[in-house]
Structure 1
Amino acid sequence: MNRPTGTGPAPKGPLEGPLEGPLEGLDARLVVERGAFRLDVALTVAPGEVVALLGPNGAGKTTALRALAGLEPLTDGHLRLDGTELERVPPESRPVGVVFQDYLLFPHLSALDNVAFGPRCRGASKAEARERAAGWLERLGLTAHAGARPRRLSGGQAQRVALARALATSPRLLLLDEPLAALDARTRLEVRAQLRRHLAEFEAVAVLVTHDPLDAMVLADRLVVVEDGRVVQEGTPAETARRPRTDYIAQLVGLNLYRGRADGHTVRLDTGAEVTVTESLAGPVFVAFPPVAVTLHGDRPADISARNVWRCEVAGLETHGDQIRADLTGELPLAADLTTVAAAQLDLRPGAEVWAAVKAAQTHAYPV
């Protein structure tokens, strides 16, 4: 996404009221200790950048978001937004807008008054707040629903009202907690596209928490992957998808991932198997390849390098899109995608023995 960056005063954009002072972005180290769990995550986000915190359940994503909002006190670390220390600033006084997973709209207020609530809390008169709210509802295509209460809104409409409410106070930091999780698949597709457009026009810092890789890939400029309270990988969506560094990330982006030691074009994996790769490397490496690159055979194929053929056993089968995914154990545990016709021809079933093969050209090796 093309967004303005820099440290000078921000111009007034189509989705932003006037912002006072320079935009410097977010500089934080979030340390939160709670029982046996410890979160220690460093975040640096530039103005106009959208960063997605991605990770499995219990990784610490929501704890990090709550710490940014001031709802979870820091045990250690720091939190600076546009050069201002926020650790001791109460949540209601922070220039932060939050879109919660369940939206948390006030059920007794209309959409207009829900959006006007923030400006009213910041000192705007009732007329000023409602005028600003009406402008936001218009920008988000909700003018016709201004008088509707939340129970009268669809999921997509409620999500946009929640976004308008968060943006109506001209926040320097926008936090989105699983903003599309409550939507059905069809509505999610439409609202994801709308949200991407709105975030592209947002001039300050946006942090998105999600466990959905597609939401992260579509909405974010950069991914920060958190596991067990710490950052395990960060980079652009394309970089992260191409070079996963943990099993969790590999599964998200649909790759078989292994760790081993390279000696030229041969990698001896930690599992004991060997893989021939196109890259010539030395030392600890990752090797990745997609399930669709795996071919299965009833007998050992003779036309592929012996190092890229492994005897396996089918542990399970499941529908994966328009294909069948086979989970294999044996010399090299892996996932393979094949058509229903191919699965039938091989008579695949749990316990069946097969040979799995991958061409060297379809592997990707990179340093640890």
Structure 2
Amino acid sequence: MTGNDTSADHAPPGGAPAPGTPGAAPAPREGLDARLIVERGTFRLDIALRAAPGEVVALLGPNGAGKTTALRALAGLTPLTGGHLRLDGAELDRTPPESRPVGVVFQDYLLFPHLTALDNVAFGPRCQGASKTEARARAAGWLDRMGLTAHAGAKPRRLSGGQAQRVALARALATRPRLLLLDEPLAALDARTRLEVRARLRHHLADFEAVAVLVTHDPLDAMVLADRLVVVEHGEVVQEGTPAEIARRPRTDYVARLVGLNLYKGHAEGHTVRLDAGPALTTTEDLAGPVFVAFPPGAVTLHRERPAGSSARNLWRCSVTGLETHGDQIRAALTGELSLAADLTTVAAAELDLHPGAEVWAAVKAAQTHAYPA
């Protein structure tokens, strides 16, 4: 996958005059407008994607949701069954992959093992017709921007994971794509390297003038790198919005788990929400009709005896079904009148003598809940 060069001596997609041609208007930059319909056996993907130039969109979802199928469809590696795919106003549905103005960074980078970092990056421009000198000059410029000038002569086996990821990104950007696709770009990195590379990648994406689509199952990657999230489950979009909107108002159990919230659906009558499955909840919001109610595990307090004089309006008798370390805290999984997760310190867990099967009272103050229309 190399993509079309949109420099002055190449016509942009759709056959418009090249920029700089006398009388030519500037090439339109409309971004991405796609409806991707792909049917494969019993699985059907049907999602709409729109993104403006300069926008980074993350496709987020569980394994098997259809994220990779969507990315392959955008790249032209999987044919569409229906729908459309337009980039900057040009129809790409039937454009061969090698002719699309698309750059791809694959999960395993797929660098050519026999080529140096410089020649890996120069490969795309060479495929677009650039001379060897021009292609290597462009590649050197990208390696410099990635902080890899000292590694230009190294072959992939001599590069660290973070360095290989940056070479792969440079190779994709050297073709001057109008759409950049990143397939789990940080998945192959260890935790320590991931922090550094995530920060670098965010910097490079902020400078990218065209559309970038990131596929990931890691919520932190999505929240840090993307301007907007599109959550896909079972081949359909279930929620989209900014990271802040998604985190504050999750609409499925999958999204709630990603952002670390307890989530319930019910029917509101003023400050009372009667849950579809479970007891009633008291909230500070005054609403009517179908709603979601969410609260973080850290808002839950646990007691071995029913608390006397508690100010919590929400109190349920539960049993501990599991305990696991969650960062520097213990996360307790609870079931009973209400199934929920609670976070507490190691000391608090020890003082409560928590263990699977232990009976507890779980309390949440109304002020720590958040209700919003379903």
Secondary structure of 1:357 counterpart: strand
Superimposed CA distance per residue, residues 201-233 of structure 1 (whole angstroms, 9 cap, x where no aligned partner): 000000000000000000000000000000000
- Deviation string, structure 1 residues 309-367 (Cα, Å, up to 9, x no partner): 00000000001111110000000000000011111111100001000000000000000
Instruction: Give ranges in structure 1 of 5+ residues lacking alignment.
Output: 1-8, 11-17
Aligned residue in 2 for 1:168: 174
Distance in structure 1 (CA, Å) of the matches to 2:41 and 2:138:
43
Residues 315, 350 of structure 1: 8 Å contact kept: yes
> Aligned-pair distance for 1:270?
1.1
Q: What's the CA shift for 1:91?
A: 0.1
Partner residue in 2 for 1:154:
160
Match of 2:367 in 1: 361
Aligned residue among 119, 122, 133 for 1:116: 122
Q: Distance in 2 between matches of 1:115 and 1:241?
A: 37
Q: 1:267 aligns with which of 252, 260, 273?
A: 273
**Does structure 1 retain, via aligned residues, the 8 Å contact 2:33–2:51?**
yes
1:22 deviates by 2.0
CA–CA distance in 1 between the matches of 2:307 and 2:50?
50
2:287 equivalent in structure 1: 281
Structure 2 partner of 1:194 = 200
Q: CA deviation at 1:52?
A: 0.2
Q: Distance in 2 between matches of 1:62 and 1:84?
A: 23
The answer on whether the counterparts of 1:111 and 1:145 sit within 8 Å (CA) in structure 2 is yes
Structure 2 CA distance, aligned partners of 1:326 and 1:139?
Answer: 46
User: Once the 2 structures are TM-superposed, how far is the Cα of residue 240 of structure 1 from its aligned partner?
Assistant: 0.3
The answer to whether the 8 Å contact 1:48/1:206 transfers is yes
Q: Does 1:178 align with 2:184?
A: yes
Deviation at 1:23, TM superposition (A): 1.1
CA distance, structure 2, for counterparts of residue 197 and residue 120 of structure 1:
27
| Deviation string, structure 1 residues 223-274 (Cα, Å, up to 9, x no partner) | 0000000000000000000000000000000000000000000001111311
Look up the match of 2:230.
224
Could you tell me how far apart the structure 2 residues matched to 1:93 and 1:122 are?
9
Amino acid at match of 1:240: I
Separation in 2, partners of 1:286, 1:347: 33
TM-score calculated relative to the size of structure 1: 0.94
**Structure 2 residue aligned with 1:310:** 316
**Alignment match of 2:144 (pick from 138, 163, 174):** 138
The residue type paired with residue 115 of structure 2 is L
Which residues in structure 2 correspond to 1:1-368 (within 5 Å)?
21-304=27-310, 307-368=313-374
SS at match of 1:156: helix
AA matched with 2:65 = A
Aligned equivalents of 2:312 and 2:200: distance in 1? 50
**Structure 2 residue identity aligned to 1:336:** A
SS of match in other structure, 2:94: coil
**Which residue is 1:4 aligned to?**
none
- Cα distance between partner residues in 2 of 1:45 and 1:305: 47
Write the distance in 1 (CA, Å) between the matches of 2:127 and 2:217.
32
Identity %, equivalent residues? 85
Residues 255, 289 of structure 1: 8 Å contact kept: yes
How many angstroms apart in 2 are the aligned matches of 1:202 and 1:300? 56
Cα distance in 1 for partners of 2:97, 2:228 equals 26
Letter paired with 2:211: V
Q: Do 1:274 and 1:307's aligned partners in 2 also have CA atoms closer than 8 Å?
A: no
Cα distance in 2 for partners of 1:304, 1:277 equals: 16
Contact kept? 1:261, 1:282, Cα under 8 Å: yes
The 8 Å contact of residues 31 and 41 in structure 1, kept in 2 or not, is answered as yes
Query: Any gaps of 5 or more consecutive residues in structure 2?
Result: 1-5, 8-18, 21-25
Q: Is the 8 A contact 2:313 2:366 kept in 1?
A: no
**Paired amino acid for 2:371:** A
Q: Distance in 2 between matches of 1:61 and 1:208?
A: 9
Residue 141 of structure 1 aligns with an amino acid whose one-letter code is: G
* Cα distance in 1, alignment partners of residues 87 and 260 from structure 2: 36
SS of the counterpart of 1:179?
Answer: coil
263-272 or 70-79: bigger deviation: 263-272
Amino acid at match of 1:27: D
User: CA–CA distance in 2 between the matches of 1:252 and 1:356?
Assistant: 22
CA distance in 2, matches of 1:123, 1:154: 31
Equivalent-residue separation in structure 1 for 2:292 and 2:310 (angstroms): 22
Q: Following the alignment from structure 1 to structure 2, what is the Cα–Cα distance between the partners of residues 78 and 353?
A: 55
